[in-house]
Amino acid sequence: MRGKRLAAVLLTGILCFAAATPAAAAAWRVDAVYLALVTEEELYGLSPGEVLEVGQPVEVSGDYDIDSYSISYLNSGAIACTMDVWASSGGYFDNQTMVSVYGAYEVSVLLRTAGHMRVTARMYPVQILDEARPQLQQKKATWNAVDGASSYSVIVYYFTEKNDNTRRIKKTSKSTEIDLSAYEFIEDVAVRPEKGSGARSDYIALPYYINTSGMVDEESSSDDYVFHLPTATYGSLPDGSSGHNPFSPDNSFVYSSGGTYANTLPGTPTGTPTGTPLGGSPLGGSSGSGAAGGYAAPAAGWFGGGDVWYYLVNQTPYTGWLAITQEEWYYMQPGTGLMKTGWFNDGAYVYRLNTNHDGSFGKMLTGYQVVDGQTYYFNETHNGAYGAMYHDCYTPNGRWADQNGIVR
């Protein structure tokens, strides 16, 4: 593998393993090149007001390697990243090789030979808008201007002489102030900058509502920052599909800055997520069954049947946490590599691994789940605690999870 000219970025991603190829075998085509201009680690590090430009682009597979890259800045405010990608020994590119780049709104192939492609991808800087901090001044509220804001969402808390119950109303302002003369008594005001529309907005997350005390208005704010980063694709797979870039979340990318529940949630599963299922898998479909079925174990991929499954890498059972995609996690037991099912406690935290043969046998469960007649909630957000059981806290929709994780 060619050495990169800039320092490597470590990424917990997906490594696609291919079956071992005899030395005399013919060259094989690389069907897809999956790249990323932004990683989850970089997004997690952002705070309000900070801007992330493209870091070192990363690849998902040992089938190809980014040898070098260059960055240029466009008049539109966009960033162009041009990458030289080389096929690994035995592999080759052709006009059917698809290129998919997470974090890019546009991608094109400038040059392609059997062993080398030059790819350029365009993105905008990624940022969380800075916070707006309001102040009350007689019958109006004012706040600081925020770069990149198209307008401001304003929450007014007020009451009247006849009714001292606090009321709440949401307003929008195009400027950095709002008239409050229509309200008899003002209790507080909270403000959040809003983003515009268009491709640029996909790279912007909104901050929290901030009140006149400079604190987060928890009643109006989400616990999360949300990005909608695009994935640009050049070409298609041989079956005509665009595939799924393993770096790209299935939906928007969400992470929590800490929030109310962070100290009660388990940590992120550790280990290197690897692999693409080859042949059968516990998700359903055909499966190998060892010597009894007349099939040899594959060099890489799922192997087994019924309740007994392993994931092989170079004919060796993989152990530890295994991620097929960002949403699809399994735990392969140390020593044997046997896939774990049911409750799993890593010594400090609790997970639930599916016991049902419903197309997701062994998969780590998320969301609300009923187990033996009791309801539990497992974290659905990629905030450093994906799949972890809630306990001693409220679930996202306000239900209480007790010390055993049972949701009331």
Q: What is the DSSP string of 356-383?
A: S-SS-TTPBP-EEEEETTEEEEE--S-S
In 3D, which of 110, 99, 52, 104 has the Cα closest to residue 80? 104
Please say whether the beta carbons of 123 and 204 come within 8 A.
no
Q: Higher confidence at residue 337 or residue 106?
A: 106
5 Cβ contact partners less than 8 Å away, ≥ 6 residues apart: 67, 68
pLDDT tens per residue across span 95-147: 889 999 989 999 999 999 999 999 999 999 999 999 999 999 888 999 999 99
Per-residue DSSP letter, 270 = P
pLDDT 10s digits, 150-196: 999 999 999 888 887 889 999 999 999 999 999 988 999 999 999 98
Rounded Cα distance, 74 and 199, in Å: 15
Tokens 């268009």 identify what position?
Answer: 198
Q: Residue 374 has which token pair?
A: 């009791």
Q: What is the pLDDT of residue 348?
A: 63
How far, CA to CA in Å, does 56 sit from each of 177, 214, 380? 41, 36, 28
User: What is the rounded radius of gyration, in angstroms, for the C-alpha atoms of the chain?
Assistant: 25
Domains of the chain: 28-126+229-259 (no CATH), 129-222 (2.60.40), 291-401 (2.10.270.10)
Q: Are residues 32 and 237 in contact, defined by beta-carbon separation less than 8 angstroms?
A: yes
Over residues 17-46, the mean pLDDT reads 68
pLDDT of residue 17 exceeding 60, the answer is: no
Mean pLDDT value of segment 313-332: 82
